[in-house]
């Protein structure tokens, strides 16, 4: 219980400090990463769906689906290192690298990953096929957030 109280006090202190600081000047804030820099960092995450989506966005047009908006880490960036760290800790790594789509009901979202009759992922389709075309592969599961 004591550890939780210390953690809570630390978070309250961080929130107070952020609220007391003036609005950051976005044009002169050197702590901000450009979208290109952030995309390179995500691409360095290896065999993740987020890395594949960023690679597809930077390369020649290879439409995954029209419904894919981006990656949480790119869409939820803020120009404050401290606030970015707090948000990423709150969301967790899995959530930060989730693929964001416009709608759950779109056939495009369901096409991101397809399964065979045995229930295993069929790597010939969806995001797995796009990764293979880029010379990459996906390992493990990936989250999709639908708006």
At 118-137, the pLDDT tens digits run 888 888 888 888 888 888 88
Query: Quick check: is 4 in a domain?
Result: no
**Does some domain include residue 21?**
no
pTM to 2 decimal places: 0.64
Residue carrying structure tokens 């990423």: 88
For the chain, the C-alpha Rg in angstroms (whole number) is 18
Contact 130, 52 (CB under 8 A): yes
Would residue 26 count as lying in a domain?
Answer: no
Task: Kindly report, residue by residue over 75-89, the tens digit of the pLDDT.
Answer: 876 777 777 778 878
Average pLDDT for 1-10: 70
pLDDT category of residue 26 using cuts at 50, 70 and 90: very low
At residue 72, the pLDDT reads 85
Angle at 21 between CA 17 and CA 27, to 5 degrees: 135
Strand, helix or coil at 134?
coil
What is the domain range of residue 45? Answer: 32-146
Provide the domain count of the chain. 1
The whole-angstrom separation of Cα 54 and Cα 71 is 8
> What is residue 30's predicted lDDT score, i.e. its pLDDT?
35
Region of residue 60 (left: phi > 0; alpha: psi -120 to 50; beta: else): beta
């Amino acid at each position: 219980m004591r550890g939780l109280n210390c953690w809570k006090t630390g978070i309250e202190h961080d929130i107070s400090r952020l609220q007391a600081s003036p609005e950051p000047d976005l044009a002169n804030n050197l702590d901000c990463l450009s979208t290109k820099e952030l995309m390179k960092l995500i691409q360095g995450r290896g065999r993740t769906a987020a890395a594949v989506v960023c690679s597809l966005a930077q390369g020649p047009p290879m439409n995954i689906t029209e419904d894919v908006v981006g990656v949480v880490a790119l869409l939820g960036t803020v120009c404050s290192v401290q606030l970015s760290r707090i948000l990423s800790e709150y969301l967790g790594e899995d959530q930060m690298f989730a693929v964001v789509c416009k709608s759950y009901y779109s056939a495009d979202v369901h096409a991101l990953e397809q399964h065979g009759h045995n229930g295993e992922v069929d790597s010939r389709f969806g995001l797995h096929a796009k990764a293979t075309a880029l010379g990459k592969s996906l390992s493990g599961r990936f989250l999709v957030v639908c708006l």
